[in-house]
Amino acid sequence: MIIVTGAAGFIGSCMTGKLNNRGHKEIVLVDDFSRPDKEPNIARKIFTGKVERGVFFEWLDNHSKEVEFIVHLGARTDTTEFNMTVLEALNIDYSKKVWNACTRHGIPLLYASSAATYGDGSLGYDDTDPALSYRLEPLNPYGISKNEFDKWALQQEQAPPRWYGIKFFNVYGPNEYHKGRMASVVYHAFKQILDAGYWKSDKRFPSSGIQLPASSIQLPASRIQHPASVRLFRSHRPEYPDGGQLRDFIYVKEVTDVLYFFMQHAAESGIYNLGTGRARTFLDLVTAVFAALDLPPSIEFIDTPADIRDKYQYFTEARMDKLRKAGYVKPFRTLEEGITEYVQGYLAEGGYY
């Protein structure tokens, strides 16, 4: 049996789909299942049970001998959350309980960390030096909470038989409809284009009611009169042009491939980066969204909101040597390949993975 926490969320539901695709059906989903907007994420998944996160540890004590692996992806992921009490409860204390339960019962553990731990990137993105975690200065409480747990994990003398803390960089892909402001820029770019109201059909964009094309995502040239503009944050640093801010964007299916690799291979325990290893600009990203819709790019720039301006990362790029040395050799999709599949295969159809 495999446990996936945060299973109704973005990466958690995609990981459950990955496990199903690899033939795993003995899966127990753990989450707060009270949000109806997350239900479609798991509607077609195959699993043996659902456990509310508040009673999970009691359940685990009674079923530990059946559990082969725990994939702990549950967290408060809102980077604009400034209530540290909430983040401590969900991202630190709950994760400590998962760790201790895995240690007590001898269960391998994989947990979600974040590239937000690296702060402004001035200390680099090296996942091979455990001491770096103690020098990092994340830019927001979310990043602080993730880094605090990483540091705690590295200090433990008692640990699960195998454990992996995975620092996710900028993940995009299907099943993020429910994330609102925290959804990827790919999602928001697509939604802004659709908000222009060019397309008419009986299909609807989940949670928005926007009409989608019934048969093809190709928009006839005669309909392109005033292309919808996508809004990007203006640069507030002179060394970066508007839209030239760089991030390491990674498609969620690449993420689940790597997580599954760790489940199947006894790599060295520790913290690992998970990005593509190649930073791309937001202009590249939005241009790829327009190209996937066969539309000419139209972009306007707005000021970065004042409440996040001094906490905004201008450059992230994962160092991937450690993962490669651990034996993961599969190449990553390019940004254009990932966006094309996401837009045409999921967003344009209102589909779920």
**What's the gap between Cα 340 and its chain centre?**
18
Identify whether 346 is a catalytic site residue. no
Q: Which of 179, 191, 240, 312 is catalytic?
A: 179
- Answer yes or no: are the C-beta atoms of 150 and 165 closer than 8 Å: yes
The Cα 262–Cα 299 span in angstroms is: 39
The Cα 19–Cα 48 span in angstroms is: 13
Q: Which of 94, 111, 118, 142 is catalytic?
A: 142
What is the DSSP secondary structure assignment for residue 279, as one 8-state letter? -
Closest to 72 (Cα-Cα) out of 109, 25, 117:
109
What is the DSSP secondary structure assignment for residue 315, as one 8-state letter? B
- Answer yes or no: are the C-beta atoms of 172 and 187 closer than 8 Å: yes
Query: Do strands 2-5 and 69-72 pair parallel, antiparallel, or not at all (unpaired)?
Result: parallel
- For the record, the structure tokens of 261 come out as 């690799």
Identify whether 179 is a catalytic site residue. yes
Q: Where are the beta strands (DSSP E) in the chain?
A: 2-5, 27-31, 49-52, 69-72, 109-114, 163-168, 170-172, 203-204, 211-212, 230-233, 246-247, 249-251, 270-274, 280-281, 299-302
Residues classed as catalytic: 142, 179
